[in-house]
Structure 1
């Protein structure tokens, strides 16, 4: 497998997720650095890049259009091959239609990174797997927030356990970049 039939999905890497008062404590402070490394390596290899932006419809959300938090974080540079905007957890329910866009380009493999691990990234991985894509989930290029009695690292562990082998293969940034995940062969 190489980047010719794969797409890097960069999910919801938006400034609004820096609002700790709104979201609470997060994990994986290296997330954005790893996303930047993936994005650079993917582009250097000539791969397809898809940016996804969550345009929240909730009045108080920092991700709502027109709010500064709706913008991408500084690590998200350059132009994507396509920008998908969405209002739900799944990138497959956005505009334009992600599945149709990928099918038109014969993309069979997805590499997923972004925010948050256990919501939009996990939902997209599950749907991608169900739609027949080979999904690589770059766990160390995602992060999430504490929720209820569970801390963010526990939620990440649950996501990895739920996805791996059924909906996706869990990989690291280094595995993707080094070729161990077989994208740069």
Structure 2
């Protein structure tokens, strides 16, 4: 086993927020499941990661009941389920050890938010020496409001910026179709 699919924060917490109505990829579960099927068929590791903010009282507080995978995602026995409290999936988990012990050298990144937890995980993974493939259409994000001007960055602009920042520096960029050899977008 030299590859792993990392599924980051595809969790109910996001669906409880008002900005979910503007999500860039309403079929995130379908796209992630296509990658999960591919990884399992190739005997690659699938790692599930959830974001948690204990004591925050918000949707990422485990007490809310929303820190769980979105319906339709089904981890199998033996697939690690990690809980993080940082933006990337490495810093507050044993992800690096989990991958290293299993001989993983390359990771595929998928999940929610494209520019936040997914991008940050890709950057850290690259810095740790992993080959990183960022599967943009298996990520999702919502529009971002500029903290000072109030201008709103669209999801397509966020995705384009993320791909530009990562490509050739921290990751290769791929689509689900390119990886699965299919042009289908959701089944």
Taking structure 2 as the reference length, what is the TM-score of the superposition? 0.87
Aligned equivalent of 1:32, options 24, 29, 37: 29
Secondary structure of the residue aligned to 2:25 is coil
Q: Gaps (5+ residues) in structure 1?
A: 180-185
**8 A contact 1:14–1:63 mirrored in 2:** no
Q: C-alpha offsets along residues 26-85 of structure 1, whole Å, 9 cap, x if unaligned?
A: 212232211111112211222101000101236242121122321111122032521111
Q: 2: CA distance between counterparts of 1:103 and 1:10? A: 17
Equivalence for 2:117: 120
Aligned equivalent of 2:4, options 2, 7, 10: 7
What is the aligned-residue RMSD (CA, Å)? 1.7
How many equivalent pairs are there?
175
Q: 2: CA distance between counterparts of 1:117 and 1:124? A: 10
Q: C-alpha offsets along residues 59-114 of structure 1, whole Å, 9 cap, x if unaligned?
A: 2421211223211111220325211111110100133x111221111110000101
Q: 1: CA distance between counterparts of 2:63 and 2:17? A: 20
Taking structure 1 as the reference length, what is the TM-score of the superposition? 0.88
Q: Gaps (5+ residues) in structure 2?
A: 146-151, 183-187
Equivalence for 1:86: 84
Equivalence for 1:56: 53
Equivalence for 2:149: none
Equivalence for 1:152: 155
Q: 2: CA distance between counterparts of 1:138 and 1:58? A: 32
Aligned equivalent of 2:97, options 100, 118, 125: 100
Secondary structure of the residue aligned to 2:111 is strand
Secondary structure of the residue aligned to 1:66 is helix
